[in-house]
Amino acid sequence: MLNEKLHEALNRHMNSEFYSFYMYLSMAAYFDSMHFKGFAHWAEEQANEELGHAKKMYQYILDKGGKIVLLPIEGPPSTWDSCLAAFEDVYKHEQKVTQQINSLYEICQENKDYATQTFLHWFITEQVEEEAMSSEILERIKLAGDSNSAVLLLDNELGSRQGE
């Protein structure tokens, strides 16, 4: 059984993962409208991954005898000024998610909930990958600068992302 504070926090975090799904799906639509099919593909794959994260959290709450509370999901942005601005948002978002997971872990420690700590290890490791990937893409967009050719090469590369 989950501690009440942790139960509420896990439900809030599940909601955050659903927001991540929305954000990346919105980003995919934006990139598609700008004819950046590779960026759109990358964002859609990322959206699917985030949905998987939400479902993982959902199942864990149920497995621990908790009640699922689906909260309203804030609407994400639907446009960005550039690919650079979009990936600046991605990186900031992933840093925020990392902070949220760290806060969950702290609640687990306070309540000596070792099972949930173990469960969260997967998310902690995943966030290292998420931040590294978004940071790398962001830095490559910055390196491309005003070179349309370089951005199009990156777009092509991101289009080859395989789903997990």
- Does 136 belong to an annotated binding site? no
Q: What is the DSSP string of 45-78?
A: HHHHHHHHHHHHHHHHHHHTTPPP-PPP-PPPP-
- Does 127 belong to an annotated binding site? yes
Q: Is residue 163 part of a domain?
A: no
CATH code where residue 32 lies: 1.20.1260.10
pLDDT digits (tens, 9 = 90+) for 55-74: 999 999 999 999 999 999 99
Q: Is residue 164 part of a domain?
A: no
If one counts the domains in the chain, the total is 1
pLDDT digits (tens, 9 = 90+) for 77-93: 999 999 999 999 999 99
- Does 94 belong to an annotated binding site? yes
- Does 50 belong to an annotated binding site? yes
Domain housing 103:
4-158
Q: Is residue 86 part of a domain?
A: yes
- Does 17 belong to an annotated binding site? yes
The CA distance from 151 to 130, in Å, is 21
